[in-house]
Structure 1
Amino acid sequence: MQTLTRLCLKFVQSCLPNALLLAIVLSVVVFLLGMVIEGQSAHVMLNGWGDGFSNLYQFAMQMSLILLTGFIIAKTPIVARMIDKLASITNSPGQAAGIIAVVSMVTFYINWGFGMIVGAFLAREMGRRVQGLHFPLAVAAAYSGEIIRGTTASIPLLMASEGNFMEDVVGVVPITETLYAWWNIALSVALLFLLYFVFSRIKPETNEIKQYQGEPLNNRVEKVDTRGMPWAEKLEHYRLPNLILALLPIGYLAINFHQLGFTLNLNLVILIFLAIGLVLQPSPASLGAAVKEGILACRGIIIQFPLYAGIAGMVKVSGLADSMSAWFVEIATVHTFPIITFISAGIVNIFIPSGGGQWAIQGPIMLEAAQRLGADIPQTIMAFTWGDAWTNQMQPFWALPLLGVAGLSARDIMGYCVMWTLICGAAIMATFVVLSML
């Protein structure tokens, strides 16, 4: 374990550029691959980049709001107290890293935005309290919980929806056969234990340890003397305005769930987080302070999401994704197809780190091939879903919000994440090998 960790750290520290530079490098690489391998002209590649660049504007805003509303909740006194209690469980650096990883995975399972923020804040608080806990390791443990595919996993939810774009090929595939299949639940639980085992046993050298030096989470509501203030200024320090505003999202959500049932999408998750944040924040003044701090954590999303959308546009217009998927399909058999799907999804995910966008490009190819081979359709869907999650572990794109809260760069944590990528990838592939023999 220690040898593998050191090798990964050395590789990342020597070879990995920062997250923005990596996006620039990937843009150039895809541009050249489209011209050299697919024979596309520079004109076609430029059009693909330009047409794709704006495709994630809405998604980037949604991700920023999920992060921001999650930040607002995490900065409330009640959540700060919860994190405070979790941070006081142990004084052992190994156990602390393991606990951060487990809490992160559980909260990621509930919701991506909530897991990202709770994991980041718990890593900060554990890093401040536990002597000998290497802060980059704590943040890597928090991010590695993102491997889990939980209640809002977009691909299986899409395939379970009537009218999905592949319904004429495979029909509607219920989540009881994908996300909540017995083997997928068993895999999820196994990854939880494996994650704790891995991160609780990593022991950096004493001279390498960097303790977190930031401020503790504030779980106290400071009393503000409002005497002599104008009435409008006084209102900034009372809870009532927050509660009045909270009635709007709460009312809308109640009507929506009554009419359509309890179905979730990103917009509804944002409204849920906003309503919770408004109720828990003690005043508009404290809400504004949390928003001001949280916006800094969104800065990586704002510029880099459009860059990756441009990369995805080039991958799509050049035919690179189709060619890669077709090549994997050619070498697959009925038994190896889920594993091939997993690897294919993981590789393409490096260039298109958006599960939904990647599925729209690769999904039809993989499902039609699964039909021809007679491969298991639900396993193919989940193999793709896990492949998308797998290389997220070493792709800084999804770590940007957490890194913004932690105040670290991708290079600080990616050595540990690459090590976890290798381990969890082996575990997931082993699962599909076993399933192919059943």
Structure 2
Amino acid sequence: MQFLTRLCLKFVQTCLPNAMLLAIALSAVVFLLGVTIEGQSAYTMLNGWGEGFSNLYKFAMQMCLILLTGFVIAKTPIVARLIDRLVDIPDNPAQAAGIIAVVSMVTFYINWGFGMIVGAFLAREMGRRVPGLHFPLAVAAAYSGEIVRGTTASIPLLMASEGNFMQDVVGIVPITDTLYSWWNVALTLVLLALLYFVFTRVKPEGDEVKQFQGEPLNNDTGIVDTRQMPWAEKLEHYRLPNLVLALLPLGYLVINFQQLGFTLSLNLVILIFLTIGLLLQPSPASFGKAVKEGVLSCRGIIMQFPLYAGIAGMVKVSGLADTLSTWFVDIANVHTFPILTFVSAGIINIFIPSGGGQWAIQGPIMLDAAKTLGADIPQTIMAFTWGDAWTNQMQPFWALPLLGVAGLSARDIMGYCVMWTLLCGATIIAAFVLLSML
């Protein structure tokens, strides 16, 4: 384990550019592949990039709001005390890294945005207070929990929905056959155990250890002398305005859950975080201060998400995804098809780091082929879903929100993430090999 970790760290530190340069490099690679392999004109590729560039504006804003509202919650005294209790559990750095990994994966299973925030702030506090805990390792443990596909996994939920775009081909595929099948639940538990094992065995020593030196989550007493303030300024330091505003999202959430049941989406997570933040922050002034501190965490998202949207636009317009998918289909048989689906989804995910967008491009090809070959449809869907998650582990795109909170660069954690990518990828492939033998 130590040898593999050091090898991955050396590779990343030597070869991996920062996240912005990686996005630029991927843009150039996709442009050249579209022109040379697919025979597309420069005009077509440039047009695809421009058309795609704005496709993630909404998603980028959602990510910024999740970060900001999560930051507001984390900067409240009650949440700081809850994290304090978790931080008091481990007796050594290995246990601390394992707890971060497990808590992160469980919260990621509940919701992606929730897991990203909880993992980031737990890693910060563990890194600050557990002696000898290497902070980049703690952040990598928090991010590696993202491998899990949980209650909000878009692809199996889409395929279980009436009117989905592949219903005429494979019908409606219930989540009891995909996300909550016995074999997928078993694979999820195996990955959870593996994640804990891996991050409790990686032990940087001596000069390698870099402990987090930042401030605690809540170091503001909230006590403000308002005696000399005019009444309008005093109001900024009272709780009442927060409570009044909180009634709006709280009322909407109650109505929504009454009508639709307890289903979570990114927009609902943002409203939940906003409501909790308003209720827990002592005043509008403290709320605004927390937002001001959190804005810096959004800098990577604001510029790099549109760049990846442009890359996805070029991949789509060039036909690169279709070509690669078709090549995998041509060499597959009924037993190997889910495995090759997993690998192809992982490769294309590097260029289109959006599960729903990637499924819209690749899904029809893979499901048509699965039906023709007689391959298991639910296994094909979940193989694709896991493939989309697999290479997220070494793709800085999804790590940007967490890195923003942690104050690290992708290069700081990606050595550990590459090591985890290799191990979890081998485990998932082994699981589908076993399924093909049953």
Q: What's the offset of the Cα at 1:225?
A: 2.0
Q: For 1:88 and 1:113, how far apart are their aligned partners in 2?
A: 25
Q: For 1:377 and 1:275, how far apart are their aligned partners in 2?
A: 40
Partners of 1:390 and 1:424 within 8 A in 2? yes
Q: For 1:74 and 1:235, how far apart are their aligned partners in 2?
A: 23
- With normalisation by structure 2, the TM-score equals 0.98
Partners of 1:350 and 1:391 within 8 A in 2? yes
Q: For 2:239 and 2:154, how far apart are their aligned partners in 1?
A: 36
Aligned to 2:277: 277
Aligned to 1:52: 52
Aligned to 2:61: 61
Aligned to 1:419: 419
How many residue pairs match? The answer is: 438
| 2:127 pairs with 1:127 | yes
Aligned to 2:360: 360
Q: What's the offset of the Cα at 1:179?
A: 1.1
Q: For 2:25 and 2:423, how far apart are their aligned partners in 1?
A: 26
| 2:107 pairs with 1:107 | yes
Partners of 1:56 and 1:309 within 8 A in 2? yes
**Structure 1 residue runs without a partner (length 5+):** none
Q: For 2:405 and 2:334, how far apart are their aligned partners in 1?
A: 44
Aligned to 1:244: 244
Partners of 1:224 and 1:237 within 8 A in 2? yes
| 2:332 pairs with 1:332 | yes
1:421 is matched by which residue type in structure 2? T
Q: What's the offset of the Cα at 1:221?
A: 4.1
- With normalisation by structure 1, the TM-score equals 0.98
Q: How does 1:386-405 map to 2 (within 5 A)?
A: 386-405=386-405
Aligned to 1:85: 85
Deviation digits for residues 120-145 of structure 1 (CA, Å, limit 9, x no counterpart): 11111111111111111111111111
Q: For 1:74 and 1:108, how far apart are their aligned partners in 2?
A: 17
1:190 is matched by which residue type in structure 2? V
Aligned to 1:259: 259
Aligned to 2:351: 351
Partners of 2:63 and 2:401 within 8 A in 1? no
Aligned to 2:222: 222
Q: What's the offset of the Cα at 1:424?
A: 0.4
1:82 is matched by which residue type in structure 2? L
Q: For 2:111 and 2:219, how far apart are their aligned partners in 1?
A: 23
Partners of 1:78 and 1:219 within 8 A in 2? no
Q: For 1:5 and 1:30, how far apart are their aligned partners in 2?
A: 30
Partners of 2:113 and 2:266 within 8 A in 1? no
Q: What's the offset of the Cα at 1:268?
A: 1.9
Q: What's the offset of the Cα at 1:55?
A: 0.8
Q: What's the offset of the Cα at 1:411?
A: 0.4
Q: What's the offset of the Cα at 1:269?
A: 2.1
Q: For 1:329 and 1:341, how far apart are their aligned partners in 2?
A: 8
- Where 2:398 maps in the other structure, the secondary structure is coil
Q: What's the offset of the Cα at 1:220?
A: 6.0
Aligned to 1:144: 144
| 2:231 pairs with 1:231 | yes
Aligned to 2:315: 315
Deviation digits for residues 243-281 of structure 1 (CA, Å, limit 9, x no counterpart): 111111111122222233333322222212211221122
Partners of 1:81 and 1:219 within 8 A in 2? no
1:119 is matched by which residue type in structure 2? G
Aligned to 2:295: 295
**Cα gap change, 1:221/1:158 in structure 2, threshold over 3 Å: closer, same or farther?**
farther
Identity %: 84
Aligned to 1:406: 406
Partners of 2:222 and 2:286 within 8 A in 1? no
Aligned to 1:162: 162
Deviation digits for residues 135-179 of structure 1 (CA, Å, limit 9, x no counterpart): 111111111111111111111111111111111111221111111
**Structure 2 residue runs without a partner (length 5+):** none
Q: What's the offset of the Cα at 1:384?
A: 0.6
Q: For 1:117 and 1:263, how far apart are their aligned partners in 2?
A: 19
| Larger CA deviation: 99-108 vs 227-236 | 227-236
| Larger CA deviation: 63-72 vs 405-414 | 63-72
Aligned to 1:375: 375
Deviation digits for residues 346-396 of structure 1 (CA, Å, limit 9, x no counterpart): 000000111111111111111111111111111111111100000000000
Deviation digits for residues 75-110 of structure 1 (CA, Å, limit 9, x no counterpart): 222211111111111231111111111111111111
Q: For 1:289 and 1:179, how far apart are their aligned partners in 2?
A: 41
Deviation digits for residues 275-298 of structure 1 (CA, Å, limit 9, x no counterpart): 122112221111111111111111
1:179 is matched by which residue type in structure 2? L
1:307 is matched by which residue type in structure 2? L
Q: For 2:98 and 2:265, how far apart are their aligned partners in 1?
A: 31
| 2:204 pairs with 1:204 | yes
